[in-house]
Amino acid sequence: MSIIVQKFGGTSVASVTHIEHVARLIMAARNAGDQVAVVVSAMGDQTDRLDSLANEVDFNKPASRREVDVLLSTGEQITIAVLAMTLMKFGCAARSFTGAQAGILTNSSHTRARIQQIDTGALQNSIDDGEVPVIAGFQGVDEFGNITTFGRGGSDTTAVALAVVLKARECQIFTDVKGVYTTDPRVVDSARCMDQVTFEEMLELASLGSNVLHSRAVAFAGKYQMPLRVLSTFDDTPGTLITIEDESTMEQPIISGIAFTRDEAKLTVLGVKDVPGVAWRILGPISEADIEVDMIVQNVAADNTTDFTFTVSRDDYVQAMDILQQTTGITGIGAREVTGDNRIAKLSIVGVGMKMHAGVASRMFEVLAEKAINIQMISTSEIKISVVIAEEYIELAARALHAAFDLAEDSLTGK
Amino acid sequence: MSIIVQKFGGTSVASVTHIEHVARLIMAARNAGDQVAVVVSAMGDQTDRLDSLANEVDFNKPASRREVDVLLSTGEQITIAVLAMTLMKFGCAARSFTGAQAGILTNSSHTRARIQQIDTGALQNSIDDGEVPVIAGFQGVDEFGNITTFGRGGSDTTAVALAVVLKARECQIFTDVKGVYTTDPRVVDSARCMDQVTFEEMLELASLGSNVLHSRAVAFAGKYQMPLRVLSTFDDTPGTLITIEDESTMEQPIISGIAFTRDEAKLTVLGVKDVPGVAWRILGPISEADIEVDMIVQNVAADNTTDFTFTVSRDDYVQAMDILQQTTGITGIGAREVTGDNRIAKLSIVGVGMKMHAGVASRMFEVLAEKAINIQMISTSEIKISVVIAEEYIELAARALHAAFDLAEDSLTGK
């Protein structure tokens, strides 16, 4: 009998009623012939409630990160107990496991711990006894017995790691959407839930805002080639399977999906001297202020000066602009002018098919040109092309590209 | 340097503001020269919230008691994290310990576990490192690593047990009252907070409704002769010291306190045959229905029949009466009539001084007679006399006895 690992996120276990529904899904999977191990997140907004309790104490000394973990880990502990009780109520043998009880050994980096080893003895015994082990996601224990947590996306990571060590045939991430879409269905009516996508593609889509799965879990699953399925707790459809590139596929779709995000802003330093160290002098103070930089574009100009542009989260725009004004004033990098725009959006097309198809970028630019959409920045990777455009054009661009690359149709089956 | 154990109950740690106040009390005790280990309960109504979550699942299979413990133990775990963080914020080294981390080993009786052994290694290291260990009350771990909880009064028990193994000079139970009173101050204006009371007396007072300390913790402290102090988190007074009988005391007060409870009801079976097995046939079905019986009184009558009276919690009155009607009908114990009254109250006078003073009972009955209060039932132990009277007389009786036995004055010091 093969094992599957099922992970249920916060919205899937938001109440006892939700949890009863989840219990029925688990039992259906068992009746279908699989052994099931379950990973759960904290119920609904419980993590936020615990977070605000920690914030109320208003103390950020590193030593207290140990205590933040003691606090936050209670969220998942509540869920495992309630779900295990519910399964038993329905006649299904079950047993809860905290991270420590599940043998999830981590390093001692509190609030952002990394899994080092999983001792599956207790879990395997539970499975062999015919029970459904219900494991608290997001948490583990260090070698000294201290409780640790994994940071954002931690429950997905727990699920993937357990799937790997339990040699599961699949890791299923239940969430409140049907799967991974070709683009945001709120913007493009014809957006399609993909049957399948590669780990590489998912990584690009996840980090670009298709907020279904955390990158860390996807990368982890990719590393161990553990098939990952994203599916809905509230809708009986197969969802999206994230797996390795299928060599047998006759025809590879050119692009798999279109991701976009509105919450960016761009800043440009015009006419800086084109000498080594300029990028560092511009971005150093920005990163010291803990502002994360996304795209960076620099062109060489003919007159020994260059224009340097980068994007930040829109929330950080004002602070980044202030820092930039000071930097260019003080360090004498010879900037002619600093400009910025916080009404921009970033759009990316993603697909492993790009590797095999020439002309994807030019097709993209052609489509945008046809709609008279000006491209402000361009950045590319092997399986992704990102552009920055004025925010007001984002829906138009997404719809035009979705149609141009035939995403509404399943290019493999013609559905 | 000597160690004291301080325990703070739910109302003392109801909010972050409360916890900041508690942190200052702990630091004051350290500044006064003691090493301090702290035991805490769940914040405010957190335990009730978790309880209702368990009730919502509505499942009582014994197997799920393991999961109830996983659930309930999160309440104290939240408090230890928040208090440890708060102490650190104030510059006081601290470290939280779950029951398992504190080395509190119990048997496997989930929801009502008993402490079997405490491995003080980790706690002692923490104290030696100059930290305040902050320990989750009410919980431990069994030999298989399962989380267990202790049932009602469990945090007091944790505190006393830790005080014993850490060889503390005193165990301080902080609560929301000033200490143990001679009687209920809401009823008798002149009720006095006692400086000192014996373990024996406290046991009688606790089980009779002076709801400050759980009997189990008092019995535990008495067994190991660990001085216990009940004092207020919100009022800077020394509270009440519960300790062994002080042989050096020149004059022992005759009675120490008056306890009473209104939430009882009595049931009487009149004219049953006075033969062996009658008590069992009457009370067997009552206890099978999980109804707890308090006082039991039976008199032998002249005509080979007897009247059998007992009291139950007022909440159980209707059910107990139903059962009694059936029992007397079916088993043919020959009862003439079944009567009952749920407008009664029980009042007890308690004091080790009774052992040395004759006539305490008759003095009590005289006082009640003077006020024309009819005594319905009488029950006595070595250091306690309890009577059942009509509920409407309870305040009058308490005040009259409080005055008659000079409880308002401290009889040792004449204060």
Does A58 lie at the interface with B, CB-CB under 8 angstroms? yes
Does A145 lie at the interface with B, CB-CB under 8 angstroms? yes
Give percent of chain B above pLDDT 90: 54
Tell if the CB–CB gap between A96 and B70 is shorter than 8 Å.
Answer: yes
For chain A, 415 residues long, the average pLDDT of each consecutive 10-residue run is: 94 95 97 96 89 82 85 96 96 97 95 94 96 97 96 89 96 92 89 90 72 83 94 93 72 81 89 78 85 81 78 92 82 77 92 78 90 88 88 94 86 44
A16, A67, A82: residue with CB nearest B96: A67
**Residues A281, A271: Cα–Cα separation, whole Å:** 14
B16, B50, B73: residue with CB nearest A56: B16
Does A95 lie at the interface with B, CB-CB under 8 angstroms? yes
* Chain B: residue whose CA lies nearest to A49: B78
Residue type for position A187:
V
Does B81 lie at the interface with A, CB-CB under 8 angstroms? yes
Across the A:B interface, residue pairs with CB atoms under 8 Å apart total 110
Tell if the CB–CB gap between A74 and B77 is shorter than 8 Å.
Answer: yes
Calculate mean pLDDT across residues B335-343: 88
Does B96 lie at the interface with A, CB-CB under 8 angstroms? yes
Give how far A70 is from chain B: nearest CA, Å: 6
* Distance set, CA A344 to CA A88, A324, A396 (Å): 52, 19, 14
More confident: B304 or A319: A319
- Choose the weakest-confidence range: B45-49, B156-160, B206-210: B206-210
Contact indicator for A155, A7 with CB cutoff of 8 Å:
yes
Tell if the CB–CB gap between B86 and A59 is shorter than 8 Å.
Answer: yes
By three-state DSSP, how is residue A171 classified? strand
Tell if the CB–CB gap between A70 and B77 is shorter than 8 Å.
Answer: yes
Interface of B with A in 22-51 (CB under 8 A): 50
Terminal Cα distance for chain A, rounded? 33
Task: Write out chain B residues lying below 8 Å of A125, CB-based.
Answer: none
**Residues A190, B39: Cα–Cα separation, whole Å:** 59
A53, A84, A122: residue with CB nearest B82: A53
Does A54 lie at the interface with B, CB-CB under 8 angstroms? yes
B16, B73, B122: residue with CB nearest A57: B16
Whether residue B331 has pLDDT greater than 70: no
* Chain B: residue whose CA lies nearest to A88: B64
DSSP B24-55: HHHHHHHHTT-EEEEEE--STTHHHHHHHHHH
Q: Which of B19, B38, B47, B74 best tests the A interface by mutation, with the highest count of A CBs <10 A?
A: B74
pLDDT tens-digit readout, B186-198: 889 899 999 999 9
pLDDT at B412: 47
Does B67 lie at the interface with A, CB-CB under 8 angstroms? yes
Task: Write out chain A residues lying below 8 Å of B77, CB-based.
Answer: 70-71, 73-74, 77
Give how far B108 is from chain A: nearest CA, Å: 15
Q: At B245, phi and psi to the nearest 5?
A: -60, 130
pLDDT at B247: 58
Tell if the CB–CB gap between A81 and B68 is shorter than 8 Å.
Answer: yes
Whether residue B110 has pLDDT greater than 80: yes
Closest CA to B181 of B159, B201, B164: B201
Does B53 lie at the interface with A, CB-CB under 8 angstroms? yes
* B132-136: strand order across its sheet: B94-97, B132-136, B35-40, B3-8, B170-175, B228-232, B240-243, B196-198
Give how far B201 is from chain A: nearest CA, Å: 39
Task: Write out chain A residues lying below 8 Å of B54, CB-based.
Answer: 81-82, 85
pTM metric for this prediction: 0.82
* Distance set, CA B329 to CA B274, B309, B395 (Å): 17, 17, 38
- Choose the weakest-confidence range: A329-333, B44-48, B258-262: A329-333
**Residues B216, B161: Cα–Cα separation, whole Å:** 11
Q: Which of B68, B85, B142 best tests the A interface by mutation, with the highest count of A CBs <10 A?
A: B85
Does B58 lie at the interface with A, CB-CB under 8 angstroms? yes
More confident: A148 or B297: A148
Tell if the CB–CB gap between B88 and A50 is shorter than 8 Å.
Answer: no
Does A80 lie at the interface with B, CB-CB under 8 angstroms? yes
* Chain A: residue whose CA lies nearest to B102: A145
A63, A70, A77: residue with CB nearest B70: A77
By three-state DSSP, how is residue A136 classified? strand
More confident: B331 or B107: B107
Whether residue B78 has pLDDT greater than 90: yes
Contact indicator for A167, A138 with CB cutoff of 8 Å:
no
Tell if the CB–CB gap between A89 and B50 is shorter than 8 Å.
Answer: no
Tell if the CB–CB gap between B70 and A98 is shorter than 8 Å.
Answer: yes
Q: Which pair of tokens denotes residue B386?
A: 């309890």
Tell if the CB–CB gap between A81 and B98 is shorter than 8 Å.
Answer: no
Q: Which pair of tokens denotes residue A330?
A: 């003080």
Tell if the CB–CB gap between A71 and B82 is shorter than 8 Å.
Answer: yes
Closest CA to B133 of B144, B145, B142, B121: B121
Residue type for position A185:
P
Tell if the CB–CB gap between A16 and B53 is shorter than 8 Å.
Answer: yes
pLDDT at A81: 97
Tell if the CB–CB gap between A64 and B89 is shorter than 8 Å.
Answer: yes
Task: Write out chain A residues lying below 8 Å of B81, CB-based.
Answer: 54, 67-68, 70-71
Task: Write out chain B residues lying below 8 Å of A101, CB-based.
Answer: 145
Neighbouring residues of A199: CB distance < 8 A, sequence distance ≥ 6:
A218, A219, A221, A222, A228, A242, A243, A244
**Residues B4, A396: Cα–Cα separation, whole Å:** 70
Residue B268 forms beta bridges with which residues? B309, B339
**Residues B66, B110: Cα–Cα separation, whole Å:** 6
Interface of B with A in 194-233 (CB under 8 A): none
